[in-house]
Amino acid sequence: MREEIAGKNSSPLEQLLSERVVVTGLEVQYFEALYAQNMRNLTIPQAEHHQKRLDRAHRRHLSAIRALAQIRKLLKGTAMTQINIADKQINTVG
């Protein structure tokens, strides 16, 4: 799953953030399953605790996705192309 999210030719930072996306996604799934298994036996305060924990995990997951998207956008914008015409070199961004 990490490789699928990171994609081919990803930078070390993209790989690290991809791993974070996978880990936080698994955390969300785990807390959802835990909550679903215990839902009938929970008191209201316990249910609120589970929901808050799930909400925090979901926020971390969205934050990891957002960070990966921002890094990809920044890295894509900094790609520099070098063009040699005769004896002159031209560098272009993008």
End-to-end CA distance of the chain: 29
Q: Assess contact for 24 and 60: CB atoms under 8 A.
A: yes
What is the rounded CA–CA span in Å between residue 50 and residue 36? 10
* pLDDT for position 10: 87
Whole-structure pTM value: 0.75
Residuewise pLDDT in 10s, the chain (94 residues) = 888 888 888 889 999 999 999 999 999 999 999 999 999 999 999 999 999 999 999 999 999 999 999 998 888 876 555 555 666 655 555 4
* pLDDT for position 75: 85
* pLDDT for position 14: 92
